[in-house]
Amino acid sequence: MSFQNPSDEAIRALLQRVKTIAVVGLSPKPDRPSFGVSQVMQAAGYRIIPVHPGASEILGEKAYADLASVPEAIDLVDVFRKAQDVDAVVDEAIRLKLPAIWIQLGIVNEAAALRAQTAGLVVVMDRCIKVEWRRLCS
């Protein structure tokens, strides 16, 4: 079985119902893609929660060491980590019963994506959330 992304309609529906996005691997450096993408999504009205163990605050929001440390509901996990690091993020999202995970453009871990789908999460992989939001929602 190979992974397939949801349809455009399903991605649009996901982006319309999501309010809070936990960004795993959000860099505090403005020149990094994770920072720019998160900044655009924040400006679009999404609540961005940085998940970065080495930072205390990014984009004006308190940063957390891991998903389990976030004290509020997470609608979507956006992953900016290497493909081999996605397994641990997916496992944590499944354990926390989070509803959706977005694995950013250029990051492919088919086994992890399939595991998340099988556990009931909505999964988007190898797509940029900013690009898809602009294409489908703005």
Model confidence pLDDT, tens digit, residues 24-83: 999 999 999 999 999 999 999 999 999 999 999 999 999 999 999 999 999 999 999 999
* The total number of residues written for the chain in this structure: 138
CA-CA-CA-CA torsion sign (69, 75, 78, 83): positive
Beta-strand ranges (E) seen in the chain are 20-24, 47-51, 57-58, 61-62, 76-79, 100-103, 122-125
Instruction: List domains and CATH numbers for the chain.
Output: 8-136 (3.40.50.720)
User: Residue 24 and residue 22: Cα distance in Å, rounded?
Assistant: 6
The tens digit of pLDDT for each residue in 4-18 reads 999 999 999 999 999
Residue 48 tokens, joined: 């961005």
